[in-house]
Amino acid sequence: MSAPLSADLAQIGKSVVIKGELSGSEDLYVDGQVEGSIALKNHSLTVGPNGQVKASVEAKGIVVQGKLEGNVQASDRVELRKSAVVTGDIATQRISIEEGAYLKGKVDIQGKADKAAGK
């Protein structure tokens, strides 16, 4: 499966390994390895089928097809596709989980009021 091509989409290919803090103001597709933290406040993160992310993640939308280990905070929605393996707590407004996805962690659905109150 290849990543959707877009002018506003940054891609980390499957042979790329990154350790450290990742932040940005465009959507990000990770099919390689990232260890550390990822912050994309108003943009989306997609972990591709080969992606292995070991990081705390903060983004507007998060789609996981590969492996993600770390706590996840999405201001809009989280999608776990059938091949997703997620270990960590998820806080989001909306979540969809395909059959076959694996999740080890807490799911906390936060309403806009909760977010505003910082709960």
Binding site for another protein (CB under 8 A): 52, 67, 69, 80, 83, 85, 87, 95-99, 101-109
Nearer to another protein, 40 or 92 (CB): 92
Rounded Cα gap, residues 119 and 115, in angstroms = 6
Tokens of 15: 């042979």
DSSP, collapsed to helix, strand or coil, labels residue 50 as coil
In the bound complex, what is the minimum distance in angstroms from residue 5's beta carbon to another protein? 27
Tokens of 109: 């659905």
In the bound complex, what is the minimum distance in angstroms from residue 3's beta carbon to another protein? 20
> What DSSP state is assigned to residue 38?
E
Nearer to another protein, 76 or 108 (CB): 108
In the bound complex, what is the minimum distance in angstroms from residue 114's beta carbon to another protein? 10
The radius of gyration of the chain from alpha carbons, rounded to an integer in Å, stands at 13
Rounded Cα gap, residues 8 and 67, in angstroms = 23
Nearer to another protein, 55 or 103 (CB): 103
